[in-house]
Amino acid sequence: MIMPRGQQLLLPVNPLFMLFTMALALLLDMLQSMAWTGNAAWAPDWLALVLVFWAIHQPLRVGVGVAFVLGLLTDVHQTSLLGQHALTYTVQGYLATMIHRRILWFDVPSQALQVLPVFMAAQLLELSVRIAAGGLFPGWSFVVPPVLQALMWPLVTFILLAPQRRAPDPDKHRPL
């Protein structure tokens, strides 16, 4: 494959960095709910965002299985129905793996538009499962998180790809 001029080659990803960012996203979710939003329905789910990001960029390392385990942990933290987030994260992991070959051909804002349906599908699935299990309807602000998560996509892409954008041969002019 011929590289177009000016296209940067990325460094290989560090699996420890992936683990670190997912733990950080889980921490951020907890911090957000415990200190700030409580059980508000509009709070964005950072873990889902990071998970979908890695499932798209590193489908061989992060996929459905990792999503399921992280979903279980989220369920226990949120005291929701055990298996609810496991299900929605599994579905998001699957959808992300399905679109990963296509989506990376687009520029970042278009990618954001394409991950929106993934987040929205998971959110609607969560809503239908909980209503079926007898939960109360949390209000229409429930459709806000997928939009927020999609809006965060460029920012997350910038931050999570930054370590891979470093120079392969650092010298004293390019220390990073």
Partner 1 sequence: MPLGSLERSPPPFFKQGTSALTKLVMFSALSFGLMFADQHYNIVQPARWVLSLIVFPVQWVALRPQALWDHFDDVFESKQDALSAVEQARSQLLNQSVRASQVEQLMLENRDLRQLLQLRERLGSPAMAAEVLYEAADPFTRKMILDKGALQGVQTSSPVMDEQGILGQVTRVHPLVSEITLVTDREHSIPVLNTRTGARGVAFGESGGAPLLELRYMATNADIEEGDMLTTSGVDGVYPPGIPVARVVKIERRADSVFARILCESLARVQGARHVMVLEPVKLTQPSFKDLQPPPLAPVKGGRG
Select 168 or 175, whichever has its Cβ closest to partner 1.
168
Coil/strand/helix, residue 48: helix
Q: For 116-167, what is the HEC assignment?
A: HHHHHHHHHHHHHHHHHCCCCCCCHHHHHHHHHHHHHHHHHHHHHHHHHHCC
Q: Which stretch binds partner 1 (CB under 8 A): 14-22, 98-106, 113-121, 146-154?
A: 98-106
Binding mask 16-55 for partner 1 (x = CB under 8 A): -------x--xx-xxx-xxx-xxxxx-x------------
Q: Which of 159, 145, 156 is nearest to 116 (CA)?
A: 145
Residue 122, CA distances (Å) to 125, 128, 170, 175 in order? 5, 10, 42, 42
Pick one of 168, 169, 171, 172: the residue that binds partner 1 (CB under 8 A). 168
Q: Is 154 in the site for partner 1 (CB under 8 A)?
A: no
Q: For residue 10, what are its two tokens?
A: 């990325």
Residues near partner 1 (CB under 8 A) are: 1, 3-4, 7-13, 23, 26-27, 29-31, 33-35, 37-41, 43, 60, 63-65, 67-68, 71-73, 75-84, 86-87, 90-91, 93-94, 97-98, 104-105, 129-130, 133-139, 142, 161, 164, 168
